[in-house]
Amino acid sequence: MIGSSWSRAAGLWASGLSYPPDTVSVVHLRYSFRVYPTRPQRQALARTFGCVRTVYNDAVAARRAAHKAGTKYPSGVALARTLITDAKRTPERAWLGSVSVVPLQQVLRHCDRAYRNFFESLSGKRAGGRVGPPRFKRRSGTQTAEYTRRGFRLKGNGRLYIAKIGDLKVAWSRELPVEPTSVTIVKTVTGKYYASFVVAVDDDETLEPVETETGIDLGLTSFAVLRGGRTIDNPEFFRKMERKLKQAQRALSRKQRGSANREKARLKVAKIHEKTRARRDDWLNKQVATLVRENQGIYVEDLNVRGLSRGRAAKSMHDAALGKFLTLLESKAARTGRTFARADRCFPSTQLCSACGALTGPKGLDGLRHRTWRCGCGAEHDRDANAEINIRREGRRSVAEGHAET
Protein backbone atom coordinates (compact mmCIF):
# COMPACT_ATOMS: atom_id res chain seq x y z
CA MET A 1 0.00 0.00 0.00
CA ILE A 2 1.67 3.22 -1.17
CA GLY A 3 -0.59 5.65 0.62
CA SER A 4 -3.67 5.68 2.79
CA SER A 5 -6.23 8.24 3.94
CA TRP A 6 -8.61 7.87 6.86
CA SER A 7 -11.73 9.43 8.29
CA ARG A 8 -13.20 8.84 11.74
CA ALA A 9 -16.61 9.34 13.27
CA ALA A 10 -16.92 12.04 15.90
CA GLY A 11 -16.20 10.90 19.42
CA LEU A 12 -12.77 11.20 20.95
CA TRP A 13 -11.47 9.50 24.04
CA ALA A 14 -9.06 11.31 26.37
CA SER A 15 -8.06 10.06 29.79
CA GLY A 16 -4.42 9.16 30.20
CA LEU A 17 -3.36 6.07 28.23
CA SER A 18 -6.92 5.48 27.09
CA TYR A 19 -8.23 3.04 24.54
CA PRO A 20 -10.76 3.58 21.74
CA PRO A 21 -14.46 2.99 22.32
CA ASP A 22 -16.25 -0.08 21.02
CA THR A 23 -17.91 1.82 18.18
CA VAL A 24 -16.58 0.92 14.74
CA SER A 25 -16.30 3.59 12.06
CA VAL A 26 -15.54 3.24 8.38
CA VAL A 27 -12.21 4.24 6.91
CA HIS A 28 -11.21 4.59 3.28
CA LEU A 29 -7.87 3.06 2.35
CA ARG A 30 -5.97 3.34 -0.90
CA TYR A 31 -4.09 0.35 -2.37
CA SER A 32 -1.81 0.94 -5.35
CA PHE A 33 -0.51 -1.75 -7.69
CA ARG A 34 1.72 -1.60 -10.74
CA VAL A 35 -0.05 -2.34 -14.03
CA TYR A 36 1.48 -3.27 -17.37
CA PRO A 37 -0.70 -2.17 -20.32
CA THR A 38 0.03 -3.40 -23.82
CA ARG A 39 0.94 -0.97 -26.60
CA PRO A 40 -2.68 -0.59 -27.84
CA GLN A 41 -3.80 -0.12 -24.24
CA ARG A 42 -1.14 2.56 -23.67
CA GLN A 43 -2.43 4.37 -26.74
CA ALA A 44 -6.01 4.13 -25.44
CA LEU A 45 -4.89 5.39 -22.03
CA ALA A 46 -3.07 8.28 -23.68
CA ARG A 47 -6.33 9.28 -25.40
CA THR A 48 -8.18 9.00 -22.09
CA PHE A 49 -5.61 11.09 -20.23
CA GLY A 50 -5.74 13.71 -22.97
CA CYS A 51 -9.54 13.92 -22.84
CA VAL A 52 -9.55 14.13 -19.05
CA ARG A 53 -6.95 16.88 -19.14
CA THR A 54 -8.90 18.79 -21.80
CA VAL A 55 -12.21 18.65 -19.92
CA TYR A 56 -10.53 19.79 -16.70
CA ASN A 57 -8.76 22.68 -18.40
CA ASP A 58 -12.00 23.69 -20.17
CA ALA A 59 -13.77 23.74 -16.78
CA VAL A 60 -11.05 25.91 -15.24
CA ALA A 61 -11.13 28.25 -18.28
CA ALA A 62 -14.94 28.54 -18.08
CA ARG A 63 -14.86 29.53 -14.42
CA ARG A 64 -12.01 31.97 -14.96
CA ALA A 65 -14.00 33.56 -17.76
CA ALA A 66 -17.06 33.82 -15.48
CA HIS A 67 -14.95 35.44 -12.77
CA LYS A 68 -13.49 37.94 -15.25
CA ALA A 69 -16.92 38.81 -16.61
CA GLY A 70 -18.39 39.11 -13.11
CA THR A 71 -21.09 36.52 -13.77
CA LYS A 72 -22.19 33.55 -11.68
CA TYR A 73 -19.95 30.49 -11.74
CA PRO A 74 -21.43 27.70 -13.88
CA SER A 75 -22.58 24.69 -11.88
CA GLY A 76 -21.13 21.21 -12.25
CA VAL A 77 -24.25 20.01 -14.06
CA ALA A 78 -24.07 22.87 -16.54
CA LEU A 79 -20.38 22.24 -17.17
CA ALA A 80 -20.99 18.52 -17.72
CA ARG A 81 -23.66 19.28 -20.29
CA THR A 82 -21.59 21.92 -22.06
CA LEU A 83 -18.10 20.41 -21.90
CA ILE A 84 -18.99 16.74 -22.40
CA THR A 85 -22.47 16.11 -23.83
CA ASP A 86 -22.68 19.10 -26.18
CA ALA A 87 -18.96 19.16 -26.95
CA LYS A 88 -19.08 15.63 -28.38
CA ARG A 89 -21.42 16.87 -31.10
CA THR A 90 -18.97 19.52 -32.30
CA PRO A 91 -16.15 18.84 -34.80
CA GLU A 92 -13.57 20.35 -32.42
CA ARG A 93 -14.39 17.99 -29.54
CA ALA A 94 -15.85 14.97 -31.32
CA TRP A 95 -12.92 12.83 -30.13
CA LEU A 96 -14.26 13.01 -26.56
CA GLY A 97 -16.68 10.26 -27.57
CA SER A 98 -13.82 7.79 -28.11
CA VAL A 99 -13.23 7.36 -24.37
CA SER A 100 -15.40 6.38 -21.42
CA VAL A 101 -17.54 9.17 -20.02
CA VAL A 102 -16.87 8.09 -16.42
CA PRO A 103 -13.41 9.70 -15.97
CA LEU A 104 -14.65 12.85 -17.73
CA GLN A 105 -17.48 13.22 -15.23
CA GLN A 106 -15.17 12.45 -12.33
CA VAL A 107 -12.62 15.09 -13.32
CA LEU A 108 -15.39 17.72 -13.32
CA ARG A 109 -16.22 16.69 -9.75
CA HIS A 110 -12.55 17.05 -8.86
CA CYS A 111 -12.47 20.53 -10.36
CA ASP A 112 -15.60 21.51 -8.46
CA ARG A 113 -14.10 20.20 -5.21
CA ALA A 114 -10.87 22.11 -5.86
CA TYR A 115 -12.78 25.38 -6.27
CA ARG A 116 -14.85 24.65 -3.18
CA ASN A 117 -11.68 24.07 -1.14
CA PHE A 118 -10.23 27.31 -2.52
CA PHE A 119 -13.25 29.42 -1.54
CA GLU A 120 -13.56 27.77 1.88
CA SER A 121 -9.87 28.45 2.45
CA LEU A 122 -10.38 32.13 1.62
CA SER A 123 -13.33 32.44 3.99
CA GLY A 124 -11.62 30.55 6.80
CA LYS A 125 -14.04 27.61 6.81
CA ARG A 126 -11.31 25.20 5.74
CA ALA A 127 -8.70 24.28 8.33
CA GLY A 128 -5.02 24.20 7.47
CA GLY A 129 -2.89 26.32 5.19
CA ARG A 130 -4.14 28.56 2.40
CA VAL A 131 -5.24 26.70 -0.74
CA GLY A 132 -4.68 28.27 -4.12
CA PRO A 133 -7.12 28.23 -7.06
CA PRO A 134 -7.06 25.32 -9.53
CA ARG A 135 -4.51 25.56 -12.32
CA PHE A 136 -4.39 24.08 -15.80
CA LYS A 137 -3.13 20.51 -16.09
CA ARG A 138 0.01 19.92 -18.15
CA ARG A 139 0.78 17.11 -20.52
CA SER A 140 4.23 16.63 -18.96
CA GLY A 141 2.90 16.04 -15.43
CA THR A 142 1.39 12.99 -13.79
CA GLN A 143 -1.68 11.82 -15.69
CA THR A 144 -4.72 10.31 -13.94
CA ALA A 145 -8.14 8.96 -14.85
CA GLU A 146 -10.62 7.89 -12.16
CA TYR A 147 -13.29 5.24 -12.71
CA THR A 148 -16.24 4.47 -10.47
CA ARG A 149 -17.79 1.00 -10.21
CA ARG A 150 -19.59 1.35 -13.51
CA GLY A 151 -16.29 1.92 -15.31
CA PHE A 152 -14.16 -1.00 -14.10
CA ARG A 153 -14.40 -4.62 -13.02
CA LEU A 154 -12.06 -7.11 -11.33
CA LYS A 155 -12.04 -10.35 -13.28
CA GLY A 156 -11.51 -13.85 -11.98
CA ASN A 157 -8.22 -14.29 -13.84
CA GLY A 158 -6.62 -11.41 -11.93
CA ARG A 159 -7.03 -8.87 -14.72
CA LEU A 160 -8.50 -5.41 -14.28
CA TYR A 161 -11.09 -4.46 -16.89
CA ILE A 162 -11.32 -0.73 -17.66
CA ALA A 163 -14.09 0.61 -19.89
CA LYS A 164 -12.84 1.21 -23.47
CA ILE A 165 -9.32 0.19 -22.42
CA GLY A 166 -9.56 -3.56 -21.95
CA ASP A 167 -8.10 -6.05 -19.51
CA LEU A 168 -4.98 -4.71 -17.76
CA LYS A 169 -2.29 -6.94 -16.30
CA VAL A 170 -1.88 -6.13 -12.58
CA ALA A 171 1.09 -7.04 -10.36
CA TRP A 172 -0.88 -8.02 -7.25
CA SER A 173 1.34 -7.69 -4.17
CA ARG A 174 -1.50 -8.33 -1.71
CA GLU A 175 -5.21 -9.03 -1.64
CA LEU A 176 -7.79 -6.30 -1.44
CA PRO A 177 -9.78 -6.59 1.82
CA VAL A 178 -13.13 -5.78 0.17
CA GLU A 179 -14.52 -4.84 -3.22
CA PRO A 180 -13.08 -1.43 -4.26
CA THR A 181 -15.38 1.53 -4.74
CA SER A 182 -13.22 3.26 -7.35
CA VAL A 183 -9.93 2.95 -9.16
CA THR A 184 -7.59 5.61 -10.53
CA ILE A 185 -5.22 4.77 -13.36
CA VAL A 186 -2.04 6.78 -12.88
CA LYS A 187 0.81 7.38 -15.30
CA THR A 188 3.86 8.82 -13.58
CA VAL A 189 6.33 11.26 -15.09
CA THR A 190 8.73 8.37 -15.64
CA GLY A 191 6.15 6.44 -17.71
CA LYS A 192 5.07 3.87 -15.10
CA TYR A 193 1.41 2.88 -14.73
CA TYR A 194 -0.41 2.19 -11.47
CA ALA A 195 -3.93 1.21 -10.48
CA SER A 196 -4.92 2.94 -7.23
CA PHE A 197 -7.97 1.35 -5.58
CA VAL A 198 -10.12 2.92 -2.85
CA VAL A 199 -11.72 0.47 -0.42
CA ALA A 200 -14.05 1.15 2.53
CA VAL A 201 -13.37 -1.06 5.54
CA ASP A 202 -14.35 -1.12 9.19
CA ASP A 203 -11.92 0.67 11.47
CA ASP A 204 -10.98 -2.41 13.52
CA GLU A 205 -7.18 -2.32 13.31
CA THR A 206 -6.74 -1.73 17.05
CA LEU A 207 -3.45 -3.17 18.31
CA GLU A 208 -2.88 -4.96 21.58
CA PRO A 209 -2.27 -2.42 24.36
CA VAL A 210 1.28 -1.96 25.63
CA GLU A 211 2.64 -0.22 28.71
CA THR A 212 5.24 2.04 27.13
CA GLU A 213 4.86 5.60 25.90
CA THR A 214 7.26 8.09 24.39
CA GLY A 215 7.75 11.69 23.48
CA ILE A 216 9.33 12.57 20.15
CA ASP A 217 11.71 15.49 19.74
CA LEU A 218 12.19 16.04 16.02
CA GLY A 219 15.28 17.62 14.52
CA LEU A 220 17.72 17.60 11.63
CA THR A 221 20.96 16.37 13.22
CA SER A 222 19.01 13.37 14.50
CA PHE A 223 15.66 12.80 12.88
CA ALA A 224 14.01 12.04 16.23
CA VAL A 225 14.97 11.49 19.86
CA LEU A 226 12.75 9.05 21.77
CA ARG A 227 12.36 8.03 25.36
CA GLY A 228 15.54 7.00 27.11
CA GLY A 229 17.75 8.93 24.69
CA ARG A 230 17.10 6.53 21.82
CA THR A 231 17.70 8.28 18.51
CA ILE A 232 16.57 7.79 14.92
CA ASP A 233 19.26 8.93 12.50
CA ASN A 234 18.37 11.28 9.69
CA PRO A 235 18.71 9.27 6.43
CA GLU A 236 19.11 12.40 4.22
CA PHE A 237 17.91 10.70 1.05
CA PHE A 238 17.99 13.86 -1.05
CA ARG A 239 21.48 14.82 0.14
CA LYS A 240 22.80 11.42 -0.93
CA MET A 241 21.30 11.80 -4.42
CA GLU A 242 22.02 15.52 -4.81
CA ARG A 243 25.29 15.15 -6.70
CA LYS A 244 23.80 12.72 -9.19
CA LEU A 245 20.76 14.96 -9.60
CA LYS A 246 22.95 18.01 -10.23
CA GLN A 247 24.81 16.20 -13.00
CA ALA A 248 21.56 15.06 -14.60
CA GLN A 249 20.05 18.53 -14.47
CA ARG A 250 23.14 20.09 -16.04
CA ALA A 251 22.99 17.55 -18.86
CA LEU A 252 19.30 18.35 -19.33
CA SER A 253 19.96 22.09 -19.58
CA ARG A 254 22.37 21.53 -22.49
CA LYS A 255 19.90 19.56 -24.61
CA GLN A 256 17.94 21.24 -27.39
CA ARG A 257 14.26 21.72 -26.63
CA GLY A 258 12.02 19.27 -28.46
CA SER A 259 14.81 16.81 -29.23
CA ALA A 260 14.83 13.12 -28.38
CA ASN A 261 17.98 13.55 -26.32
CA ARG A 262 16.29 16.16 -24.17
CA GLU A 263 13.43 13.75 -23.50
CA LYS A 264 15.94 11.09 -22.41
CA ALA A 265 17.67 13.59 -20.12
CA ARG A 266 14.34 14.71 -18.66
CA LEU A 267 13.44 11.11 -17.94
CA LYS A 268 16.74 10.58 -16.15
CA VAL A 269 16.09 13.56 -13.87
CA ALA A 270 12.55 12.35 -13.15
CA LYS A 271 13.80 8.88 -12.23
CA ILE A 272 16.23 10.33 -9.67
CA HIS A 273 13.42 12.31 -8.04
CA GLU A 274 11.15 9.26 -8.10
CA LYS A 275 13.79 7.02 -6.51
CA THR A 276 14.49 9.56 -3.78
CA ARG A 277 10.79 9.96 -2.99
CA ALA A 278 10.18 6.20 -2.95
CA ARG A 279 13.05 5.60 -0.52
CA ARG A 280 11.86 8.38 1.78
CA ASP A 281 8.24 7.21 1.78
CA ASP A 282 9.22 3.62 2.49
CA TRP A 283 11.47 4.69 5.38
CA LEU A 284 8.82 6.98 6.88
CA ASN A 285 6.15 4.28 6.82
CA LYS A 286 8.48 1.79 8.50
CA GLN A 287 9.38 4.26 11.27
CA VAL A 288 5.72 5.10 11.86
CA ALA A 289 4.74 1.42 12.03
CA THR A 290 7.51 0.72 14.57
CA LEU A 291 6.60 3.67 16.81
CA VAL A 292 2.90 2.81 16.82
CA ARG A 293 3.55 -0.87 17.50
CA GLU A 294 5.91 -0.22 20.44
CA ASN A 295 4.11 2.65 22.22
CA GLN A 296 0.62 3.12 23.62
CA GLY A 297 1.05 6.88 24.00
CA ILE A 298 2.88 9.06 21.46
CA TYR A 299 3.48 12.74 22.14
CA VAL A 300 5.06 15.16 19.67
CA GLU A 301 5.75 18.85 19.33
CA ASP A 302 3.44 20.86 17.08
CA LEU A 303 6.14 22.13 14.74
CA ASN A 304 5.60 25.06 12.38
CA VAL A 305 6.89 23.03 9.45
CA ARG A 306 5.81 25.57 6.85
CA GLY A 307 7.72 28.34 8.59
CA LEU A 308 10.81 26.23 9.20
CA SER A 309 10.85 25.22 5.52
CA ARG A 310 11.48 28.84 4.51
CA GLY A 311 14.59 29.45 6.60
CA ARG A 312 18.26 28.68 6.17
CA ALA A 313 17.67 24.96 6.65
CA ALA A 314 14.86 24.79 4.07
CA LYS A 315 16.52 22.09 1.96
CA SER A 316 17.18 19.90 4.99
CA MET A 317 13.61 20.40 6.23
CA HIS A 318 12.14 19.32 2.91
CA ASP A 319 14.52 16.36 2.80
CA ALA A 320 13.49 15.19 6.29
CA ALA A 321 9.75 15.52 5.47
CA LEU A 322 8.85 16.16 9.12
CA GLY A 323 5.35 17.33 8.22
CA LYS A 324 4.55 14.14 6.33
CA PHE A 325 5.99 12.07 9.17
CA LEU A 326 3.67 13.74 11.70
CA THR A 327 0.66 13.31 9.42
CA LEU A 328 1.36 9.60 8.90
CA LEU A 329 2.01 9.10 12.61
CA GLU A 330 -1.23 10.78 13.67
CA SER A 331 -3.25 8.83 11.10
CA LYS A 332 -1.74 5.48 12.05
CA ALA A 333 -2.13 6.14 15.78
CA ALA A 334 -5.80 7.00 15.34
CA ARG A 335 -6.51 3.87 13.31
CA THR A 336 -4.74 1.52 15.71
CA GLY A 337 -6.15 2.89 18.96
CA ARG A 338 -3.01 4.61 20.21
CA THR A 339 -3.03 7.87 22.17
CA PHE A 340 -1.58 10.75 20.18
CA ALA A 341 -1.15 14.35 21.30
CA ARG A 342 0.73 17.45 20.15
CA ALA A 343 2.40 19.82 22.59
CA ASP A 344 1.77 23.48 21.77
CA ARG A 345 4.42 24.94 19.48
CA CYS A 346 5.05 27.70 22.03
CA PHE A 347 5.81 25.16 24.75
CA PRO A 348 9.51 25.67 25.77
CA SER A 349 10.53 22.02 25.64
CA THR A 350 14.23 22.79 25.13
CA GLN A 351 14.55 25.61 27.65
CA LEU A 352 12.62 23.88 30.45
CA CYS A 353 14.66 21.90 32.98
CA SER A 354 13.02 18.48 33.34
CA ALA A 355 14.38 18.19 36.91
CA CYS A 356 13.27 21.44 38.54
CA GLY A 357 11.06 23.15 35.93
CA ALA A 358 13.16 26.29 35.59
CA LEU A 359 13.57 28.01 32.22
CA THR A 360 17.36 27.92 32.20
CA GLY A 361 18.02 26.11 28.91
CA PRO A 362 19.67 27.57 25.78
CA LYS A 363 17.61 30.18 23.96
CA GLY A 364 17.52 31.65 20.47
CA LEU A 365 19.62 30.84 17.43
CA ASP A 366 22.84 31.10 19.40
CA GLY A 367 21.56 28.38 21.72
CA LEU A 368 21.42 25.87 18.88
CA ARG A 369 25.17 25.32 19.25
CA HIS A 370 24.79 23.99 22.77
CA ARG A 371 23.87 20.30 22.72
CA THR A 372 24.31 19.90 26.49
CA TRP A 373 23.69 22.36 29.32
CA ARG A 374 23.64 22.58 33.11
CA CYS A 375 20.73 23.95 35.11
CA GLY A 376 21.13 26.04 38.28
CA CYS A 377 19.75 23.12 40.26
CA GLY A 378 22.83 21.09 39.29
CA ALA A 379 21.17 18.82 36.72
CA GLU A 380 23.04 18.23 33.46
CA HIS A 381 20.92 17.73 30.37
CA ASP A 382 21.32 16.53 26.85
CA ARG A 383 19.39 19.09 24.82
CA ASP A 384 17.22 16.62 22.84
CA ALA A 385 16.71 14.05 25.60
CA ASN A 386 15.55 16.79 27.97
CA ALA A 387 13.13 18.10 25.32
CA GLU A 388 11.67 14.59 24.86
CA ILE A 389 10.94 14.30 28.59
CA ASN A 390 9.19 17.67 28.63
CA ILE A 391 7.15 16.89 25.49
CA ARG A 392 6.05 13.56 26.98
CA ARG A 393 4.95 15.20 30.23
CA GLU A 394 3.13 18.01 28.44
CA GLY A 395 1.39 15.52 26.15
CA ARG A 396 0.21 13.41 29.06
CA ARG A 397 -1.04 16.52 30.84
CA SER A 398 -3.05 17.74 27.84
CA VAL A 399 -4.56 14.29 27.31
CA ALA A 400 -5.52 13.97 30.98
CA GLU A 401 -7.23 17.37 30.87
CA GLY A 402 -9.04 16.47 27.66
CA HIS A 403 -7.44 19.18 25.53
CA ALA A 404 -5.83 16.85 22.96
CA GLU A 405 -7.28 14.72 20.20
CA THR A 406 -6.49 11.07 20.83
268 shares a domain with 195 = no
225 shares a domain with 364 = yes
Question: Does residue 17 lie in a domain region?
Answer: no
Question: Does residue 4 lie in a domain region?
Answer: no
Q: What is the pLDDT of residue 6?
A: 32
386 shares a domain with 309 = yes
Cβ-contact 284, 321 below 8 angstroms: yes
The closest alpha carbon to 27, from 336, 404, 338, 341, belongs to 336
pTM: 0.83
- Collapse the DSSP code of 132 into the 3-class scheme (helix H, G, I; strand E, B; otherwise coil) and give the result: coil
Please give the helix or strand (H or E) that residue 26 lies within, else none.
Answer: strand 26-36
pLDDT band at 362 (very low <50, low <70, confident <90, very high): confident
Question: Does residue 52 lie in a domain region?
Answer: yes
Q: Which strands sit side by side in the sheet containing 231-233, from one edge to the other?
A: 231-233, 222-225, 213-218, 297-301, 339-343
**Cα dihedral sign for 214, 219, 222, 223?**
positive
Is 233 assigned a catalytic role? no
Is 236 assigned a catalytic role? no
Instruction: Report how far residue 275's alpha carbon sits from residue 120's, in angstroms, rounded to the nearest whole number.
Output: 35
- Which of 32-41, 141-150, 194-203 comes out lowest in average pLDDT? 194-203
Backbone angles phi, psi at 348, to 5 degrees: -80, 70
Check whether 5 has a pLDDT greater than 70. no
Cβ-contact 57, 108 below 8 angstroms: no
245 shares a domain with 171 = no
Mean pLDDT (the chain, rounded): 88
Question: Does residue 184 lie in a domain region?
Answer: yes
Report the domain count for the chain. Answer: 2
Check whether 366 has a pLDDT greater than 70. no
287 shares a domain with 194 = no
| pLDDT tens-digit readout, 53-86 | 999 999 999 999 999 999 998 998 999 999 999 9
Cβ-contact 110, 95 below 8 angstroms: no
159-179 average pLDDT score: 96
Is 301 assigned a catalytic role? yes
pLDDT band at 12 (very low <50, low <70, confident <90, very high): very low
Of the residues 58, 203, 213, 301, only one is catalytic, namely 301
Cβ-contact 20, 8 below 8 angstroms: no
Q: What is the pLDDT of residue 306?
A: 78
Check whether 164 has a pLDDT greater than 90. yes
Spatial CB neighbours of 119, under 8 Å, sequence gap ≥ 6: none
Question: Does residue 396 lie in a domain region?
Answer: yes
| Chosen domain end from 176, 202, 228 | 202
Highest mean pLDDT range out of 129-133, 159-163, 207-211? 159-163
The domain in which residue 375 lies consists of 213-400
Instruction: Report how far residue 304's alpha carbon sits from residue 340's, in angstroms, rounded to the nearest whole number.
Output: 18
394 or 378, which is more confident? 394
| Chosen domain end from 163, 183, 202 | 202
Please give the helix or strand (H or E) that residue 69 lies within, else none.
Answer: helix 39-69
Highest mean pLDDT range out of 204-213, 364-373, 386-395? 386-395
Cβ-contact 196, 32 below 8 angstroms: yes
Q: What is the pLDDT of residue 368?
A: 66
296 shares a domain with 181 = no
294 shares a domain with 153 = no
| Chosen domain end from 202, 223, 253 | 202
Question: Does residue 10 lie in a domain region?
Answer: no
Of the residues 319, 330, 384, 394, only one is catalytic, namely 384
140 shares a domain with 65 = yes
Question: Does residue 3 lie in a domain region?
Answer: no
The angle that helices 39-69 and 101-123 make with each other, rounded to 10 degrees, is 40
